[in-house]
């Protein structure tokens, strides 16, 4: 019983991380039809810069972590905005080329990060509470899981509120629904593109700093490994659906944890099987609109 609770809790925590990456991917795809391969690089950059900022205050302190999270999110947002303005916008509406540019960017930036920070993972110092566990119904749940779930929930709530109650949110929702119509009504939808990229980048940067706390290391490749699962989550949830991404993040992560424990470390394979199954039954994903 306690094992099951532990697996569910760590699964939820991992799901929170997946969601932080997948939410941006899903929003960007929904609005612009661009699959952003460079999203993992936003995450890695956010993690490195955020940690460096945190270390200025003090490695392993709450103040440092808090500053790191803020700086990480801002770095991710800045990198994403620069990418949108400099690389994506000039290729307006040429989706394949836009994807190719993000592919090139991801290859180039990972190499650059390796050059700057070295190819090997570096250990990080965590606040004492995060490195320990809490007893929940007999299971010793790592405290990072709570933090990840909290962050995932806050970001989900924040993005949903932003989309529902602000004018820009309205434009973005309308743009996902029918971009041509929004443009025809005289609204500059391109500003919404930049905004969506910034929001997605911020979530990824935040996820990067959080991932360093859960994994206890930071490496130039952490973005790429999380990105692949975020892709899977996005497809299972339905491309462009935020709620779908949230549900799929939890399902995928929990399933992965369970399979890793009960089925001889086959979590990654089970997830791919789940993806195949979902596509066979519902090609547009769990909550995606039928194509």
Partner 1 sequence: MNRTRTLLGALGTLVLLACLPLLALPVPGVLPGYTYEPGSLQLLALCWLTAALALSYHLLFGLAGLMSFGHALYFAAGTYGLAIVLDRTDVPLLPAAALVLVGGIALAFVVGAVSLRVTGISFAMVTLAFAQAGNVLVRRDQGDLTGGEEGLALATAGVPDALVGVVNTRNLYWLALAVLVLVYLVVLWIERSRAGHMAAAVRENEVRVRIIGGRPYLTKLVVFVLAASLATVVGMAYLLLQSGASPATSTADFTLTLLVMVVLGGVGSRWGAVVGAVLYTVLDQRLAELAHSDAVAGLPAVLRIPLSEPMFLLGTCFILVVIFLPGGLAGAAERLAARRRPVPEGAAA
**Would you count residue 231 as binding partner 1 (CB under 8 A)?**
yes
Query: With binding defined as CB under 8 A, does residue 17 bind partner 1?
Result: no
Q: Which range binds partner 1 by CB under 8 A, 42-50, 58-66, 94-102, 134-142? A: 94-102
d(CA 66, CA 83): 26
Separation between Cα atoms, residue 120 and residue 219, nearest integer Å: 6
Identify the helix (H) or strand (E) that includes residue 74. helix 62-83
Task: Answer whether 176's CB lies under 8 Å from 28's CB.
Answer: no
Over the window 206 to 225, marking each residue x when it contacts partner 1 by CB under 8 A and - when it does not, the resulting string is: ------------------x-
**Least distance CB 35 / partner 1 (angstroms):** 5
| Residue 111 touches partner 1, criterion: CB under 8 A | yes
240 Cβ contact partners less than 8 Å away, ≥ 6 residues apart: 26, 27, 29, 30, 31, 176, 288, 289
Instruction: Decide if residue 239 touches partner 1 (CB under 8 A).
Output: yes
DSSP-assigned beta bridge partners for residue 142: 133
With CB under 8 A, what is the number of residues at the site for partner 1? 44
- Out of 70, 82, 85, 103, the only residue in the binding site for partner 1 (CB under 8 A) is 103
CB of 137 to partner 1, least distance (A): 32
Bridge partners (DSSP) listed for residue 139: 136
Residue 104 in contact with partner 1, rule: CB under 8 A: yes
Q: Please list the residues that pair with 123 across neighbouring strands.
A: 217
Considering only CA atoms, give the Rg of the chain.
19
83 near partner 1 (CB under 8 A): no
52 binds partner 1 (CB under 8 A): no
Give the SS3 label for residue 91. helix
Binding track over 140-179 against partner 1, x by CB under 8 A: ----------------------------------------
Binding to partner 1 by residue 82, rule CB under 8 A?
A: no
CA atoms lying within 13 Å on the CB side of residue 79: 31
Rounded Cα–Cα distance for residues 212 and 248 (Å): 22
Q: How far is the CB of 279 from partner 1 (least distance, A)?
A: 5
Token couple for 7: 């697996």
**Structural contact between residues 51 and 205, judged by C-beta atoms closer than 8 angstroms:** no
Contact residue for partner 1 among 32, 110, 147, 245 (CB under 8 A) = 110
List residues near partner 1 by CB under 8 A. Answer: 29, 33, 35, 37, 87, 90-91, 95-97, 99-101, 103-112, 114-116, 224, 228, 231-232, 234-235, 239, 265, 268-269, 271-272, 275-276, 279-280, 283, 291
């Amino acid at each position: 019983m306690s094992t099951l609770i532990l697996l569910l809790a760590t699964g939820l925590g991992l799901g929170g991380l997946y969601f932080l990456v997948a939410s941006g991917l899903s929003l960007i795809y929904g609005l612009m039809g661009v699959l952003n391969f460079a999203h993992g690089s936003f995450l890695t950059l956010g993690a490195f810069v955020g940690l460096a900022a945190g270390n200025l205050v003090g490695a392993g302190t709450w103040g440092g972590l808090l500053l790191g999270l803020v700086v990480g999110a801002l770095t991710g947002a800045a990198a994403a905005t620069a990418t949108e303005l400099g690389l994506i916008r000039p290729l307006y509406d040429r989706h394949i080329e836009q994807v190719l540019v993000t592919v090139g960017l991801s290859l180039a930036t990972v190499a650059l990060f390796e050059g700057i920070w070295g190819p090997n993972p570096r250990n990080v110092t965590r606040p004492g509470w995060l490195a320990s566990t809490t007893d929940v119904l007999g299971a010793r749940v790592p405290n990072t899981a709570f933090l990840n779930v909290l962050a995932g929930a806050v970001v989900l709530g924040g993005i949903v509120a932003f989309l529902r109650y602000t004018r820009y949110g309205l434009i973005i929702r309308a743009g996902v629904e029918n971009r041509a119509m929004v443009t025809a009504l005289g609204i500059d939808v391109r500003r919404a593109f930049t905004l969506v990229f910034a929001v997605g980048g911020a979530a990824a940067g935040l996820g990067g700093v959080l991932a360093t706390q859960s994994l206890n290391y930071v490496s130039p490749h952490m973005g790429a490994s999380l990105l692949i699962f975020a892709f899977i989550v996005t497809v299972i949830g339905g491309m462009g659906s935020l709620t779908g991404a949230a549900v799929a993040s939890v399902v995928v992560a929990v399933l992965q944890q369970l399979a890793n424990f009960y089925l001889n470390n086959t979590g990654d394979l089970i997830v791919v099987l789940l993806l195949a199954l979902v596509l066979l039954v519902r090609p547009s994903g769990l909550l995606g609109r039928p194509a």
